[in-house]
Structures are given as structure tokens and as C-alpha cells.
Structure 1
């Protein structure tokens, strides 16, 4: 057995080897190039998120109407929120809306994704049609809701009258208004969960499905035993995403009921907007915003911890 050795002439000389200063220079130049690319976006993020968040926290400790000098009040705004029955109602309305909207949007997205995950004629048109409501503005959705569910001339009540059924109050009924908003939110937002689930379904290995069919599994067993375990992390993600969106509901309420009737649709975001920009109590509104942030953060952490314990983590 022979060993091949490099001759001294073949070995790189010290002059040819890159020195430590040269490598450091290349590293600094690479880092500088990277920061030149991400620097503008970083400044925008800091300017539009971090700075306003810090300023809002300072405002939450003050009493300020936007014109006079701010007055430091410490935690008074937060203590006021605890005893404010109007804020408690807003929290309750937000919870009710979230409990209705999130399960419906997840289940509807899963159902539509399974229905669209087929090789049929014009499937591209069907997928595009499902996604169109998602790109529509909240103002358009609100105007459509007003025309559909108007007690006087709405399309839904006209259909009920044709069927001999009594007309409903819908957006003018405190017991039905939040249900209508949840339905219209589902119409606009179910497309998001549909697209996410559809992408996840197309990533399921076909070999697993074929193996299940060879073993004699039916369509229902194949879905629950093979496909659904692959979709659990996606379900966690869309649940968290839709929950955050539901807690932050504002635009659809603003364009339809303005928090009515009888404050039955006043959510947390609408409450803080009303206090800050209509009553000009910016400190109180900022305190409500930070309570909303705490609720969102705790909800997200709770779902993530639960999903990890069930081995369904998506993060």
C-alpha cells in the first residue's frame, strides 16, 4: 500500500493563503452588503411598528386629548378599564364573534380545499372564484352586507317572504347583528384558509394515499388516518391566524353597524377607536390597545403550547 504525498512545490505557500485580515475584510464587506439591502425595510418596520407601539405605551400612562399638554396618570387608565362595563361588553362581544367565526372559517376552508383538490374541468376557474371575496375590500363587503340583510329591502328578507317565512331584523336586531357580521366575515375570509389547506393537501405524499387504498381503506378512512395527520400543523397555523384577525375586528363593524344596534356589535378595536378618535381620550384608548395586545399574545401562546403538547406544532 503506497501513500501519495504532496511535494513541497504542490503545497500552497503562505503568500497564497488568505490572511486573517483578508478574511475579516471579506466578512465585513458581505455584512455591509446585506445591511444595505435590508436597511430600508428595517427602518420602515421600526418607524411604522416599534416607534408607534412605544409611543402608545407612553400615552396609555397619560391623559391627553391631542391638543393640551399630556398629564401623567400612571396606571389609572388600566384601572379604569377593569371597572368599565362598556369595555367589558366589548370584550364579551369580541369573544362571541371569535367563537363563531374561527371554527366556521377553519371548517369551511378545509371543506372547500378538499372539494377543490380534484382534477376536474375548469378547476382553475373554481379556485379563482373562491379567492375573489378575500381580495375584496372591507368597505365593499360591508356595503354588500347592508343590501343583503337590510330588514326593509334586503335580498335575504325578500327570499324569506317568498317562502312564507317571517322577515328578520338582521343588522338592526341586537340578537342577530353579530351573527350576520360573522357570516359576512366568513364569506370574505374563508378563502384564506382554503388556499392554505389546498397547498397543504397538494403536499401530502401521493404514496401514502395509494398505500392506504391498496390496504383497503375507504375515502373517509384515508382522510382521517392519512391526510388529516398531515394537516394538523396547518390547522394550528390557520386557527392562530384567524383568531388574531377575529380579535382585531373593526372594518366590517365600522362599515355596517357602527357598533350598534344598542352597542351589540361593539368590539374591542371599535371601542378603543371610539375612545381615542371620537372622544379624544388618547390615553384611555391606548390602554385599551395594550389590553388587546395582551389578549392576543396570551391567546397565541395558549394555542401554541396546547398544539405542542398534542404534537401538532406549526412553529
Structure 2
């Protein structure tokens, strides 16, 4: 139209075009490098999760063709006394193991957080059991706690005490498993707490002592609030590990005696690969997955006030 200025056209310079082409080549090269990893993650992570979710709505023995049953597997779980016993055993194991491992880990970390001779050796000795596989632990303690030929009963005999059933006694087996796991799992808590304690600002501790605070008051009002984020992390980590315990149970007790050590993951394995009711086992697995998700979300919500308190202490 007359009177309007002509539109301004901006032509890209050769340098800009070369830069765009170079960025596109770099992007294509990056995807070429990471695509194998992405495919592996999708193949080993996402696909099995989706497949097991679909399997939980089917009756499948992994041999004959499956058939859709909807929510029947979940309804059957709600009425299954064996699943209820597995849930109770798992919760009891978790309630015993998690607090004890955290408390013992904190106490040992406080004892090891000082400058004494051979402190590095002591820290290493407490951490070594953690790196031993659960299978090796199970084999080791199966020999030690054998009711007839084990070292533990031999020692009790020399002390004049009656022999114990340990892993073969329905009243003791789960408690013994908790003790074995404490022997190995406390070392991880010790290492995490040691790192957290060494990160506590020395100026805060010194200021509290100058104000007349004793050792217990420094621990309660300075040290513990400062390491609260690590405590929350350990709580979540140990709960997830305890709810997923399987190797130790499989090697030592096979869920016995009389189902006293049948935990949820062992129940899932038993249903899927021993009884050949894969759909039923997948439904139990998703019940466990939902429980873990709820716990993770709950701990994350509870962690926010702890972060604010830790920030206030660090100031």
C-alpha cells in the first residue's frame, strides 16, 4: 500500500548458517552416542514394567496362552492368608531392622568421628560386611547357626546354655535374619553418617560450647538437626531395602519354617516361578510397588521441614 514502509528482510550471514549446521551435527552426534543407552534403558526398564502391569490383569503360567481376568488377581490377594502373612513378616522385619540400623549407625559414627590411632582401619572394618553379597552372608551364617554342627550352638554348649534352633525355629528365624542384616547393613549407615558429621560446621559446635552447652546438648540441638537430611535419606533407603529383601531369605530359610520368614518379594518369586502363577505374582509385585511409591512420596513430603531446619542451623 502506498505510504507504508517496505518490510525489512534480514538475511542470515554465512557464519550464522554454519553455526546452525554445526549445532545440528553435534545434536545428531549426541543422539547417536546415547541412543544405545536409551534403548537399553527402555528395553530393560520401561518395557518389563509395562509388560508386568499388563500381566497382573491376566491368568498366565508362562507356558500356555494367557487370558484376561481383570482385577481378579488383586481380589484374590486381598483374601490370600499366605500373602497376608508375607505382608506381616515384611512389616515386622522392616520395623525391627530400619530403626536399629539407623540408631546403631549413628552411635558408631559418633564414636568413629574422632582422631585416634588406626581410625581408618576401624572405619573399614565396620564397612566391610556391607560389601559382602547377601548370598555369601546367607551361606556363611547358615553354617554358623546350624542347629547341630554350627559354631553358635557349640559356643552356647561351652557356656552351659541350651542349644537354639535359630533359622530352623519359627519363633527365632525372622529375628535372626534381622540380626544378620544388621551385621551387614549398619556399615552403610555408619559411612553416610560419618560424611554428614564431618560436614557439620565446626563454628556452630564451638559457639554452642562457648555458650555453655554440654556434649548432649550439642548433639541434640546442633549435630542432629544438621544431619537430619541424611537421616531422612537413610530412612527411605533402608525401608526400601527391607521391603525388597529376598536373597538372604532364599539362601537361608526358603521362606520357612512354617512360612515365618516368607516376605513379599519371596512370595512374588514363589508364585511366579514355583507355582507358575505369573499373573498372580505380578499383581503382588505391583502392590509392593505402590507401597514403595507411597513411602517415597511420604518421606519426600516429610523431608521439606527437615531441609528448612537444617538450613536454619547452618545459618
**Aligned counterpart, 1:55:** 51
CA RMSD of aligned residues (A): 2.3
Q: Which moved more, 1:78-87 or 1:37-46?
A: 37-46
Is this contact kept in 1: 2:228–2:306, CA < 8 A? no
Give the Å deviation of 1:215: 2.2
Give the Å deviation of 1:183: 0.6
Is this contact kept in 1: 2:89–2:262, CA < 8 A? yes
Distance 1:181 1:300 in 2: 25
Would you say 1:103 and 2:99 are equivalent positions? Answer: yes
After superposing on structure 2, the runs of 4+ consecutive aligned residues of structure 1 that deviate more than 6 Å are: 14-19
Give the Å deviation of 1:31: 3.7
Would you say 1:255 and 2:242 are equivalent positions? Answer: no
Please give the TM-score of this superposition, normalised by the length of structure 2.
0.88
**Aligned counterpart, 2:295:** 299
Distance 1:38 1:196 in 2: 32
Q: 2:88 aligns with which of 74, 92, 95?
A: 92
Is this contact kept in 2: 1:116–1:127, CA < 8 A? yes
**Aligned counterpart, 1:186:** 182
Q: 1:242 aligns with which of 238, 248, 256?
A: 238
Distance 1:121 1:39 in 2: 51
Distance 2:54 2:112 in 1: 49
Is this contact kept in 2: 1:250–1:267, CA < 8 A? yes
Q: 1:208 aligns with which of 194, 204, 208?
A: 204
What is the DSSP-based 3-state SS (H/G/I as helix, E as strand, rest coil) of the residue aligned with 1:238?
Answer: helix
Give the Å deviation of 1:27: 4.3
Give the Å deviation of 1:305: 2.0
Give the Å deviation of 1:216: 2.4
Q: 1:276 aligns with which of 269, 272, 276?
A: 272
CA-to-partner distance for each residue in 1:49-100, whole Å, 9 max, x for gaps? 1111111111111111111111111111111111111111101100000000
Give the Å deviation of 1:117: 1.3
Give the Å deviation of 1:284: 0.7
Please give the TM-score of this superposition, normalised by the length of structure 1.
0.88
The within-5 A match list for 1:147-166 is: 147-166=143-162
Identify unmatched segments of 5+ residues in structure 2. 1-9, 311-315
Q: Structure 1 279/213 Cα, relative in aligned 2: closer, same or farther at 3 Å?
A: same
Q: Structure 1 126/254 Cα, relative in aligned 2: closer, same or farther at 3 Å?
A: same
**Aligned counterpart, 2:260:** 264
CA-to-partner distance for each residue in 1:174-217, whole Å, 9 max, x for gaps? 11100000110111111111111111111111221222222222
**Aligned counterpart, 2:172:** 176
CA-to-partner distance for each residue in 1:1-52, whole Å, 9 max, x for gaps? xxxxxxxxxxxxx999896645544543454454445433322222211111
**Aligned counterpart, 1:3:** none
Give the Å deviation of 1:309: 4.6
**Aligned counterpart, 1:120:** 116
Q: Which moved more, 1:100-109 or 1:26-35?
A: 26-35
Distance 1:290 1:175 in 2: 29
Distance 1:259 1:241 in 2: 24
Distance 1:50 1:303 in 2: 25
Q: Structure 1 205/72 Cα, relative in aligned 2: closer, same or farther at 3 Å?
A: same
Q: Structure 1 278/230 Cα, relative in aligned 2: closer, same or farther at 3 Å?
A: same
**Aligned counterpart, 1:73:** 69
**Aligned counterpart, 2:130:** 134
